[in-house]
Amino acid sequence: MLKIIKIENYVDIHYYVILLENDFHNLFISFLNELGFNSGEISKVDTPFFNLEGEYLPLLKENMRIHLFIEKEKVNMVIDTKFPQGRLNEILKKHFSFPKN
């Protein structure tokens, strides 16, 4: 499970900071599959993220855009969607651990 260390939500924009782990790309692929991203978009993240430091990866599908900004030890993820917050959280909780308040 990937660890979210920061969350900010604004209407249709959701921002997460996620710790970069060795198996990040494989765990993230299962998240994208559940959201219904096509194989072409998923293939963009099918590489170890430690090799992608400093990269920006946009992932696009109808009604949803995910922007990944990859740093040395973390990934900044912005999800731009009208997807209901409650449903998005249900899916996220299957793949990510949330920070404790």
Instruction: List alpha helices for 23-83, DSSP H.
Output: 24-35, 39-42
Q: What is the torsion angle, in degrees rounded to the nearest 10, for the CA atoms of residue 67, residue 76, residue 50 and residue 4?
A: -120
Q: Which residue has the higher pLDDT, 18 or 89?
A: 18
**For the domain that residue 36 is a member of, what is the CATH number?**
3.30.70
Helix, strand or coil for residue 72? coil
pLDDT number for residue 13: 95
Mean pLDDT (whole number) for 9-26: 92
Residues 55-89 have pLDDT tens digits of 999 999 999 999 999 999 999 999 999 988 888 88
Q: What is the DSSP letter of 26?
A: H
Residue 3: CB partners within 8 Å, gap ≥ 6? Answer: 18, 19, 21, 96, 97
H or E element at residue 85: helix 85-95
Residue 101 has pLDDT above 80, yes or no: no
Residue 36 has pLDDT above 80, yes or no: yes
pLDDT number for residue 83: 87
pLDDT number for residue 85: 83
Looking at the 3D structure of the chain, how many domains does it have? 1
Helix, strand or coil for residue 63? coil
The domain containing residue 9 runs over which residues? 2-97
Mean pLDDT (whole number) for 4-27: 92
